[in-house]
Amino acid sequence: MDYIKEIENELIEKNNLPSFKAGDTITVSYKIKEGNKERIQQFQGVVLQCKGQATGTFTVRKMSGNVGVERIFPISSPFIDDIKVNKVGQVRRARIFYFRERTGKSARIKEKRMAR
Query: Per-residue pLDDT tens for 3-26?
Result: 887 887 777 776 778 899 999 999
Contact 46, 61 (CB under 8 A): yes
Domain at 44, CATH number: 2.30.30.790
Q: Is residue 113 part of a domain?
A: no
Per the structure, how many domains does the chain have? 1
Q: Is residue 110 part of a domain?
A: no
Q: What is the pLDDT of residues 41-100, one digit of tens each?
A: 999 999 999 998 777 899 999 998 888 999 999 988 889 999 999 999 999 999 999 999
Q: Is residue 11 part of a domain?
A: no
Q: How far is CA 27 from CA 42, 52, 115, in A?
A: 6, 20, 23
Could you tell me the residue range of the domain that residue 69 belongs to?
Answer: 18-100
Q: Is residue 105 part of a domain?
A: no
Q: Is residue 13 part of a domain?
A: no
Q: Is residue 12 part of a domain?
A: no
